[in-house]
Each structure stands twice: as structure tokens, then as C-alpha cells.
């Protein structure tokens, strides 16, 4: 009987997850910011530890689905879990493209639904009246703190900037004075600080522009020196840079202002006021004003118009409901035969 030749081990079995991650991150570094590469790298390390595997041959759809379920049970949002799995799928696809893997072990694994009821901490947009009360509360907070003689960098400009620019937290808190053109009223978000790595220029609302024009003097009074072109525009109350995490902003600025303004953080639909709610509010206000979605996309920096459709559809539904409510009511006669 003729013996069959021993089967050759596939490239999948010889390739470790660490090697896949290293090759993918090297390629990613040529087209993404160092901050993005670092975030993906940390996620890979977490995945390898939690999955408890070394070789790429151990990766399977059931294994990753079980891991994804554990993350959801631990409190992760669907979107967060999708992002993590997306990194792994992209790295595996890159390994296949480079001929280091024969097949993609996660090919066909669907993403979790992340919209509607599956979205955690859905942002609740502010009304214009609420924004006015919130800004007034911030003014009062700044004034009361300064009156006590405490070192305090004003926070109303940051709240107004979040509402009037639609910029992401990471983008806005990375801007420097050299990015602001006070003469023409334009704030430029450089490509190295935007999520999409595309620069965009945002016209500044007149009231906010006045606050920003006065802010250097107030910062000098609080910090003991005038800010330079490379100094950050928006600083934490004690004059330090804001961290990427928004917990301190919520605790020290947003929560006190919401309380003083009488604004509930969570509404009856379960939507929550947090930093992203300002961005949602900005897009909603533009939609109500009839601004074309392409123009809004240019201002907010969304990667595709599709990401804005949920906001525009929500606003459109409210407008059509109001339109129906304005129609005169039809009276039904008690005796149709006599009418």
C-alpha cells in the first residue's frame, strides 16, 4: 500500500498572533497617526491576553464570538466590541494579502448591530433654550470661582466651543492658539488632530469669537504668563491640558453646570447628556436650519454622509410630526345622513 506523503503545515499554523499584529501595525503606521497606532497596539495586546492564544491557527469564529460576548457581558458597547474585532479582522486580511496566511479565519463574521436600541449611552441633544441656560451656568461658575481668588481658567469658552463647532473632544482639546484666526473668525483643526486625518476649517459663531478674543488675558491672569501660538486654547480649570478621558470634565465642569441650569442628564428615552451630545446637538441644529447634509459633513468631519443620516432622519421625523399637527381637525357629524 502506497503511503500518503505527510501533509505540509499551513502558513496559518506557523504564524503567531504577535507576528500578525507586528506586521499590520508597521503598515498602519504609514497611514495613521501615532496615537491611532498606539490604540490599536494596546487593543491587540488585550485581545491576545483575553483570548489566551498564541498561534493564528487557534483563531476561529466561535472563539472570537465567545470573547465578544464576554466583553459585552462586562459592559462594553456593541460599537466598542465591533471596533476591537475590526482591528483583528483587518490584521488577518493584511496577512492574507501579504501571503502569510492561506485563509482568513474570521471571514464572514458579521458585526454586531450598533444603532438604535443597541447603542449605549445614546446622546441627548440640547435644545437652544437649554444651551442658553447651560452657558449662563458656566458664566456663573467661572465668576464665582474667580471671586474666591482661586486659580481658575474659564470653562464657558470650552462649553460654547463644543456646542458651536461640533468638534470632537480630542480635536477641540488639541487645538493651539496658532490654529485660531481671530481676524477672520475661523478655527482650523489640523489633520494630525482629527479622527479622519483631514484638516477642516470651522467658522466661529460671533458670541464664541468674543469669548475666545478675551480668553488669552484671562489665561494670563490665571497662569501668570500670556499663551503663545503653540499653547493649547482650551485648558482644564487648573491650567493643565485636558486628558483624553472626559471623566474630569464631567465631574468638575459639565455636571455642576447641568445641575445649576436644571437640565436632566438622562431623558425618558434613555438618552444621556455627555460630551458627544454637543456634537449631536450641532448636527441637529444644522439639520433643523435646512443645511445640506454635505455641508454638515464638511463641518463635522464625518467620514461619510451615511453617518449623519440618523441625525437628519430624527430631525425630519420631528418636523413632519409638527407639520401633521398643524392640519385642521376634521369634524365628524353625529348623524352623517343629516350633514
Which pLDDT score, from 0 to 100, does residue 175 have?
Answer: 97
Domain boundary at 74, 92, 114, which? 114
Which pLDDT score, from 0 to 100, does residue 114 have?
Answer: 67
Residues 184 and 272 in one domain: yes
Strand partners, 176: 232
Residues 33 and 88 in one domain: yes
Which pLDDT score, from 0 to 100, does residue 12 have?
Answer: 44
Count how many domains the chain has.
2
Domain residue limits at 102:
11-114
Q: Is residue 5 part of a domain?
A: no
Residues 41 and 145 in one domain: no
Q: Is residue 51 part of a domain?
A: yes
Residues 145 and 235 in one domain: yes
Q: Is residue 83 part of a domain?
A: yes
Residues 176 and 315 in one domain: yes
Residues 75 and 156 in one domain: no
Q: pTM of the entire structure?
A: 0.71
Which pLDDT score, from 0 to 100, does residue 6 have?
Answer: 45
Which pLDDT score, from 0 to 100, does residue 117 have?
Answer: 61
Residues 225 and 141 in one domain: yes
The CATH number covering residue 92 comes to: 1.10.150.130
Query: From first to last of its 339 residues, what are the pLDDT tens digits of the chain?
Result: 455 444 444 444 468 888 899 999 999 999 887 878 888 999 898 888 888 887 888 899 999 999 999 988 887 888 888 889 999 999 999 999 999 998 899 988 988 886 656 555 678 889 999 999 999 999 999 999 988 877 889 999 999 999 999 999 999 999 999 999 999 999 999 998 998 888 999 999 999 999 999 999 999 988 899 999 999 999 999 999 999 889 999 999 999 999 999 999 888 877 889 898 999 899 989 988 888 888 989 999 887 887 777 776 667 666 767 777 888 878 788 765 555
Cα 318 from Cα 320, distance rounded (Å): 6
The CATH number covering residue 183 comes to: 1.10.443.10
Which pLDDT score, from 0 to 100, does residue 308 have?
Answer: 77
Residues 105 and 218 in one domain: no
Within a 10 A sphere around the Cβ of 94, how many other Cβ atoms?
18
Q: Is residue 227 part of a domain?
A: yes
Query: Contact 105/10 with Cβ under 8 angstroms?
Result: no
Q: Is residue 314 part of a domain?
A: yes
Can you read off the three cell numbers belonging to residue 7?
501533509
Q: Is residue 4 part of a domain?
A: no
75: phi > 0 → left, psi -120 to 50 → alpha, else beta; which?
Answer: left
Domain boundary at 92, 114, 136, which? 114
Residues 53 and 196 in one domain: no
Residues 104 and 201 in one domain: no
Cα 153 from Cα 218, distance rounded (Å): 7
Q: In a 3-state reduction of DSSP, which class is residue 72?
A: helix
Residues 209 and 85 in one domain: no
Residues 79 and 200 in one domain: no
Q: Describe the crossing of helices 34-51 and 17-28 by its angle, rounded to 10 degrees.
A: 170
Can you read off the three cell numbers belonging to residue 59?
483563531
Cα 187 from Cα 159, distance rounded (Å): 15
Cα 164 from Cα 278, distance rounded (Å): 8
Dihedral sign (CA 101, 21, 192, 156): positive
Amino acid at each position: 500500500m502506497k503511503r500518503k506523503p505527510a501533509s505540509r503545515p499551513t502558513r496559518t499554523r506557523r504564524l503567531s498572533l504577535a507576528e500578525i499584529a507586528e506586521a499590520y501595525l508597521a503598515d498602519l503606521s504609514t497611514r495613521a497617526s501615532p496615537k491611532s497606532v498606539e490604540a490599536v497596539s494596546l487593543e491587540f495586546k488585550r485581545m491576545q491576553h483575553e483570548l489566551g492564544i498564541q498561534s493564528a491557527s487557534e483563531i476561529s469564529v466561535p472563539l472570537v464570538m465567545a470573547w465578544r460576548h464576554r466583553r459585552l457581558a462586562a459592559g462594553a458597547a456593541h460599537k466598542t466590541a465591533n471596533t476591537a474585532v475590526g482591528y483583528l479582522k483587518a490584521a488577518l486580511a493584511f496577512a492574507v494579502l501579504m501571503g502569510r496566511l492561506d485563509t482568513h479565519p474570521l471571514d464572514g463574521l458579521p458585526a454586531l448591530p450598533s444603532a438604535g436600541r443597541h447603542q449605549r449611552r445614546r446622546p441627548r441633544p440640547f435644545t437652544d433654550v437649554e444651551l442658553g441656560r447651560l452657558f449662563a451656568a458656566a458664566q456663573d461658575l467661572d465668576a464665582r470661582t474667580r471671586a474666591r481668588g482661586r486659580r481658575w481658567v474659564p470653562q464657558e469658552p470650552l462649553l460654547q466651543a463644543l456646542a458651536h463647532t461640533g468638534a470632537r473632544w480630542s480635536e477641540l482639546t488639541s487645538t493651539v492658539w496658532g490654529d485660531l484666526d481671530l481676524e477672520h473668525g475661523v478655527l482650523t483643526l489640523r489633520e494630525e488632530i482629527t479622527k479622519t486625518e483631514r484638516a477642516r476649517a470651522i467658522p466661529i459663531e460671533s458670541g464664541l469669537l468674543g469669548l475666545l478674543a478675551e480668553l488669552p488675558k484671562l489665561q494670563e491672569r490665571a497662569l501668570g504668563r500670556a499663551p503663545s501660538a503653540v499653547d493649547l486654547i482650551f485648558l482644564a480649570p487648573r491650567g493643565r491640558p485636558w486628558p483624553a478621558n472626559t471623566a474630569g470634565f464631567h465631574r468638575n465642569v459639565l455636571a455642576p453646570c447641568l445641575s445649576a441650569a436644571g437640565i436632566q442628564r438622562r431623558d425618558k428615552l434613555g438618552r444621556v447628556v455627555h460630551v458627544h451630545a454637543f456634537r449631536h446637538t450641532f448636527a441637529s441644529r444644522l439639520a433643523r436650519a435646512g443645511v445640506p447634509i454635505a455641508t454638515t459633513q464638511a463641518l463635522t468631519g464625518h467620514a461619510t454622509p451615511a453617518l449623519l443620516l440618523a441625525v437628519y432622519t430624527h430631525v425630519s421625523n420631528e418636523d413632519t410630526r409638527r407639520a401633521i399637527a398643524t392640519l385642521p381637525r376634521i369634524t365628524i357629524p353625529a348623524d352623517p345622513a343629516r350633514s
